Amino acid sequence: MSRINIMNKTGALGCLCVLVLFMSACAGLNGENTTDKPLAGEETAHEERYEAEDAQIRGKIIRQTDKEGFSGKSYVSGFTEDGDKIIFTIKNEKDGFYDLVFRASGIGGKKENTIYVDGRCEGILLTEESDVFLDSVLKRVYLTRGEHKITLEKDWGWLDLDCLYLKESAPMDDEVYQASGVLADKEADACAEELMKYLCGIYGEKILSGQYSLYGPDGKEIQLINRLTGEYPAILGMDMKDYSLTAAEHGAKPQVTEWAEEYWEKGGIIALSWHWLLPDRYVRGEWWQALYADETTIDLDAVLNGRDKEGCELLMKDLDRMAMELQKLQKQDIPVLWRPFHEADGGWFWWSRGGPDCYKKLWRLMFDKFTREYDLHNLIWVYSGMGEEWYPGDAYVDIIGEDIYPAKSCISAQGDKFLNALDYTDTVKPVMLSESGFLPEPENAARDGIYWLGCVLWGEDYLIREPGCGGHSDHLLPGSVIKNFYNNDKVITRKELPDFKEIIALSES
């Protein structure tokens, strides 16, 4: 999953072949951040400025003057305790979309904190670490004319904040939804091509519903959604974690491919992630923690460049196992939204240990191994590494995914995250909520012009009160939000999908 929690818990290719694939994958490196970075002291064309020291402060935030470059009498620092927040009272002259520009810097690394407007969650503000104050921007927030309360509340915390500006947002460009639908895999099967054609056809007009489930079509999450809404999600998301050889060696008996076949037969779309568990030789603690950077010791650069030959062979065995499992779906003409190596930018998974360059090499290695060696052509490749610097390149990516976990009961469209994802590449790629801790309110999304291709909600405690309990919990997602999302005409459920099997059969005839 994400930083929140993980859903509950053979012949190898030689390293020479690996290096050939690796060099092929490295050819043609391609690649904004939520942070604008003017030079220290540079004047920017802002509207009215609201000084942090004049705002309402709650908690253990303090006023300071140590750092140079602040604009008023001081700046504020801290945001280290839960509940720490600062509240600006602002006034705008007309209805419209505004960028909220916070002049700030992260302490001890980049930081994410939550922004509220008049008490409702609007988004997550990313602030880079810096010795000077930088512009951290939350884009495209809709404000009616008049007075508003803008609150920055601690999430990760550790922030220096100078002031807040408001700027009118740039208009949305309709071309951002005009994706070509041409797949990165030039030998893609008809099933993948037809699904991608459909996805691009609805992109910018509708949002696909989606749900991760620990136990596939019969999981408690799917049952609960049906009881609440009378509907089933268009996309079923599942995890291939237990197909890792480490899991198999410890007795795991996964059924994900069988569940994928079942949901496809019922008319749904399949999305698969892989919390890849490393071999035991790289694991510090328990085997099921072998996906975390802090619990593993792998030197990814050494593996990819042939210095760790044994590690190279072990990873290739895992890739072989996964490719053969995915081939079972290919033989059934089942396309897959394939999302490996997610959330690299967070640093909590082992595949981010070597930095962006190693990450991109690993992605390309998998892509080439699957498509060339195993002729796997039913995959639609979804990148959710969560940053431009990790982007493997247009030749290896079909869809851009964002994994977003805002404050509880957030229903904003998260337009800032959507717009930043568009900047990973100059090519128009569909953008989806590939993993989500919230459901955007469809009417807000339509008003804001923010149409995520789909929203795949994470499972367990985002829907279920506790493991083994089938009742709904209002802790994070109220039942009313789920009902409103699934019963809105801008949201596509499973029964509203076309008959992909018939479409694919006709395209192959």
Q: Band of the pLDDT at 460, cuts 50, 70, 90?
A: confident
Which of 371, 224, 351, 217 lies closest to 291, judged by CA? 351
As a whole-number percent, the residues of the chain with pLDDT over 70 amount to 88
* Residue 115 confidence (pLDDT) above 60: yes
Q: What is the per-residue pLDDT for 14?
A: 43
Tokens of 101: 């520009």
Q: What is the per-residue pLDDT for 33?
A: 36
Q: What is the per-residue pLDDT for 476?
A: 65
Q: Band of the pLDDT at 465, cuts 50, 70, 90?
A: low
Q: What is the per-residue pLDDT for 209?
A: 98
Q: Band of the pLDDT at 471, cuts 50, 70, 90?
A: low
Output phi, psi for 306, to 5 deg: 85, 0
* Comma-separated ranges of CATH 3.20.20.80 domains in the chain: 191-508
Q: What is the per-residue pLDDT for 410?
A: 81
Q: Band of the pLDDT at 41, cuts 50, 70, 90?
A: very low
pLDDT tens per residue across span 239-282: 999 999 999 999 999 999 999 999 999 999 999 999 999 999 99
Mean pLDDT of all residues in the chain? Answer: 88
Residue 114 and residue 112: Cα distance in Å, rounded?
7
Whose tokens are 């053979």? That residue is: 10
* Comma-separated ranges of CATH 2.60.120.260 domains in the chain: 35-168
Pairing assessment for the beta strands 454-457 and 207-212 based on DSSP bridges: parallel
Whose tokens are 């071999």? That residue is: 279
Torsion angle, CA of 408/411/416/422, rounded to 10 degrees? 110
Q: What is the per-residue pLDDT for 110?
A: 86
Ranges 3-7, 120-124, 171-175, 450-454: which has the least confidence: 3-7
Pairing assessment for the beta strands 235-239 and 431-436 based on DSSP bridges: unpaired
Mean pLDDT of 302-308: 94
Which of 93, 86, 99, 97 lies closest to 51, judged by CA? 86
Angle at 104 between CA 102 and CA 105, to 5 degrees: 145
pLDDT tens per residue across span 391-407: 999 999 999 999 998 87
User: 35-168, what's its fold?
Assistant: Jelly Rolls (2.60.120)
* Residue 225 confidence (pLDDT) above 90: yes
CATH of 191-508 given 3.10.180.10, 3.50.50.60, 3.20.20.80, 3.40.640.10: 3.20.20.80
Rg of the Cα atoms in the chain: 23
Residue 470 and residue 273: Cα distance in Å, rounded?
24
Give 277's DSSP letter: P
Q: Band of the pLDDT at 382, cuts 50, 70, 90?
A: very high
Which of 390, 315, 380, 320 lies closest to 355, judged by CA? 390
Strand, helix or coil at 121?
Answer: strand
Which of 197, 101, 88, 191 lies closest to 147, judged by CA? 88
